[in-house]
Copies of this chain bind each other. A is one copy, B any other.
Amino acid sequence: MEVSTAAPAHAAPLPVALADGVFPAGCPSRTVLDHITSKWGVLILLALSEGEQRWSELRRRAEGISEKMLAQTLKTLERDGLVSRKAQAVIPPRVDYSLTDRGYELSGLLVPLVAWAFDNADDIVSGQR
């Protein structure tokens, strides 16, 4: 074997509600968690944490996303009350997306996580094979 990191003896207590059995399958929190941790959901929320943006801008920033997935992701996040959509009836059309207060609160938790992934990525990948 190689450089297998030894496990620490720590064991942090979880926030009260999560303490036992993680949380039940099929319960709303699972669904919400899936939405906000989805591949593109994270990236969209992250991009929007920098402020209001248009469809085309989001498409560029969430590099690699298809129109289908962008539409679907935005719709889900909007239904969840995390993203707000403002369309203007002009030609050409203009639609701006931004975070709601709730979405902004969430992004405060998401940003550090993404930053961590970014900072640790090279290190993690280099240990593969």
Contact = CB atoms under 8 A, between A and B. Distances in A.
Contacts of A29: 117-118, 121
Interface of A: 4-8, 10-15, 17-19, 21-29, 31-34, 36-39, 42-43, 46-47, 49-52, 60-64, 79-82, 84, 86, 98-102, 104-122, 124-125, 127-128
A101 B32 contact: no
Given A7-B86, A22-B61, A86-B7, A17 B118 contact: yes
A17 B81 contact: no
Contacts of A98: 7-8
Contacts of A108: 12
A36 B79 CA distance: 24
